[in-house]
Structure 1
Amino acid sequence: MHPDIHLTLHHARAAELRAEAGGRGPVRVRSAHSLRTRLGWTLVEVGLRLATRPGTAAAAH
């Protein structure tokens, strides 16, 4: 099995999905930077909630 077989499979599936989409263009987000920033802050929020939840090792310190 070639190490890049997964990449080849992903490309094949992407081509199938593009064909099914019927020529519609990709959905545009405001910007990649904006998306990364929102994702980053969401992960920070989730981490803080997990760290301060009663019964966790982080909350006990």
Structure 2
Amino acid sequence: MHPDIHLALHHARAAELRAEADAHPITEGRQDLRTRVGWTLVEVGLKLATRPRPAAAH
């Protein structure tokens, strides 16, 4: 299968799955929580990835 066709089919199926997930009763009202948890995980990951700076001599 040509890569462009495969990518187009992937995007179409992903859109269908997102629409189904948004319509599901379990996911209603969870976008805010999902967003907050996602950004919290990003923040924790960035803190873990950065090296602590050496303390300045007084």
TM-score (norm 1): 0.42
Q: Which has the higher helix share?
A: 2
